[in-house]
Structure 1
Amino acid sequence: MSIERVRAYFKELGREGDILEFPVSSATVELAAQAVGVIPARIAKTLSFLVEGKCVLIVAAGDAKVDNSKYKGLFHTKAKMLTPDQAVEMTSHAVGGVCPFANPEGVETYLDVSLQRFDTVFPAAGSSNSAIELTCDELAEYSHSKGWIDVCKAWQENS
């Protein structure tokens, strides 16, 4: 099970006790915000894309939307999200629980600057009813991010 892999990953970091599990679904930004008790923007959603046959994850603020022209300018291809089956196959996490932790070798993770306006954010932890509160620096470290990128829009209105 995906959350077990994430739990084992965070156990190595001494942080497994920080994983929040909810009796309700946190599979969407809105549901996660309700479960955690924060504004939707603080939910760090993990979006999965197919780029040249590889899985690329972009973690963005809950109120951000991918800007197709910015995305194409950075990745030199049209934004194509993974299907639910591809997400499980390529990340081992099901949609609703896709997260930037404990992913297979070759999965690249990027963090969108839309997250940087918050002290802490809440990415999923491998299931559709889990999350973990992290600072942006912790998120960058624990996700083994390739770096901060700017590929989203619509979040500035909410800043």
Structure 2
Amino acid sequence: MSELKKKEKSEDTRRTTQLKLKDFLEKMGIWYRFISKPETIHTADAAKVAGVDLKRLTKNLVSETDAGEHILLVIPGDCRVNLKAAAKALATKRVRLVSFNNAEEISGYPPGGTPTVGHKTPLKTVIDKSLLRFETIYCGGGSRDKLLELKTKDILKLTNAVVADIIKSKERS
């Protein structure tokens, strides 16, 4: 496949995932705001180019329990996940991150664009308790060139998230 064809296919896929996400949000009747930005994959880069607080921009980590259940771990962008704490919050032995390729297959969104809601397959969600201090938080907007701002209370309602302390303790602010 030529580079032009690959780029066109990538553009079509990006538009499709963003439309699915927008349709989901409208169907759920919740407030949202998309923010356009240059394409990024790392959270710190996304926060910088979009001009948002890294503490309010989430990392949405597609993961898997020891029983093979796919889950989403939602943590502040300036922190690292504590997988043992996540396992404890879910009353399971072990949680591990899945590969980028598997994350996209499971969620329906590319890493760097994964939102907290509206996944291809609904994912059990664990959100770090520190994010509850914010009225709104930012997450991937369905592609690497969009962010999505949502009300934290709506995320909790839509995902029925488990709220727990799942970041490395030395990073707690």
Per the TM alignment, residue 15 of structure 1 is displaced from its structure 2 partner at its CA by 4.2
Match of 1:104 among 109, 113, 120: 120
**Equivalent AA in structure 2 for residue 19 of structure 1:** F
Per the TM alignment, residue 33 of structure 1 is displaced from its structure 2 partner at its CA by 0.8
Q: Distance in 2 between matches of 1:46 and 1:122?
A: 10
Asked if 2 retains the 8 angstrom alpha-carbon contact of 1:111 and 1:145, the reply is: no
Q: What are the Cα deviations for residues 132-152 of structure 1, in whole angstroms up to 9, with x where unaligned?
A: 22232122124x233212221
SS in 2 for 1:48: strand
Asked if 2 retains the 8 angstrom alpha-carbon contact of 1:29 and 1:43, the reply is: yes
Task: Map residues 50-89 of structure 1 onto 2, 5 A cutoff.
Answer: 50-51=64-65, 52-75=67-90, 76-89=92-105
Runs of 4+ in 1 over 6 A off after TM superposition: none
Match of 1:130 in 2: 146
TM-score (norm 1): 0.84
Match of 1:21 in 2: 36
Match of 1:2 among 17, 37, 45: 17
Q: In 2 relative to 1, CA 10–147 (structure 1 residues): closer, same or farther, beyond 3 Å?
A: same
Match of 2:61 among 32, 44, 47: 47
RMSD over aligned Cα atoms: 2.0
Q: What are the Cα deviations for residues 66-104 of structure 1, in whole angstroms up to 9, with x where unaligned?
A: 123323323423331111221122111111112222113
Stretches of structure 1 that go unaligned for 5 or more consecutive residues are none
Match of 1:151 in 2: 166
TM-score (norm 2): 0.78
Count of matched residue positions in the alignment of Structure 1 and Structure 2: 154
Per the TM alignment, residue 105 of structure 1 is displaced from its structure 2 partner at its CA by 3.6
Q: Which of the two has higher C-alpha Rg?
A: 2
